[in-house]
């Protein structure tokens, strides 16, 4: 019996110090989104669009010292999202109270988006048409139908 061994990938030669990689795309740190339902403020105005930034290690560590999170681990999501969501509609002071008052579907949307941009590095999701079963990819970060 003959075994075929896969060859190890060739290592790239290190770049000289100070020389950037030209093929590496620019790092994207902010992601626009459209909430499925929208945040309703105290005056009844509905805010749909927003921006989430990439999380830092500090963003994930600081909430662990928060008393609300210590008392209820489920509150971690609220505190963490309040740190990385930088805008919802006209609101730029996004805090835990705003995240707490999102509709459950909007909170789930932001949780999924957080996971996608911080773990997978993108906001695309594979979906399938419920009628014909055709599979395709959509960008869940927002934009309206017909926009690029």
Structure confidence by residue, pLDDT tens digits, 20-71: 556 777 888 999 999 999 999 999 999 999 999 999 999 999 999 999 999 9
Burial class of residue 34, CB neighbours in 10 A (0-12, 13-18, 19+): middle
Kindly indicate the confidence band of residue 137, based on its pLDDT and cuts at 50, 70 and 90.
Answer: low
| DSSP classification of residue 22 | S
- Whether 11 has a pLDDT exceeding 60, the answer reads no
Contact yes or no for 104/55 (Cβ under 8 A) = no
Which has more confidence, 148 or 62? 62
- CA-based torsion, 117, 87, 30, 62: positive or negative: negative
Strands 124-128 and 135-139: antiparallel
For range 114-121, the mean pLDDT:
85
The model's confidence at residue 120, banded by pLDDT at 50, 70 and 90, is confident
**Beta bridge mates, 32:** 51
Say yes or no to pLDDT of 3 above 70.
no
pLDDT at 94 over 60: yes
């Amino acid at each position: 019996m003959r075994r075929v061994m896969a060859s190890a990938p060739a290592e790239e030669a290190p770049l000289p110090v100070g020389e950037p990689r030209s093929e590496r795309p620019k790092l994207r740190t902010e992601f626009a989104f459209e909430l499925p339902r929208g945040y309703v403020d105290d005056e009844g105005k509905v805010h749909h669009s927003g921006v989430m930034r990439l999380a830092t290690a500090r963003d994930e560590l600081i909430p662990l010292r928060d008393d609300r999170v210590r008392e209820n681990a489920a509150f971690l999501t609220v505190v963490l999202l309040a740190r990385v969501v930088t805008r919802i509609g006209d609101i730029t002071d996004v805090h835990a109270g705003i995240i707490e008052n999102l509709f459950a579907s909007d909170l789930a949307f932001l949780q999924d988006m957080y996971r996608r941009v911080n773990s997978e590095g993108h906001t695309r999701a594979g979906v399938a048409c419920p009628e014909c079963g055709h599979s395709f990819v959509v960008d869940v970060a927002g934009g309206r139908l017909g926009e690029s």
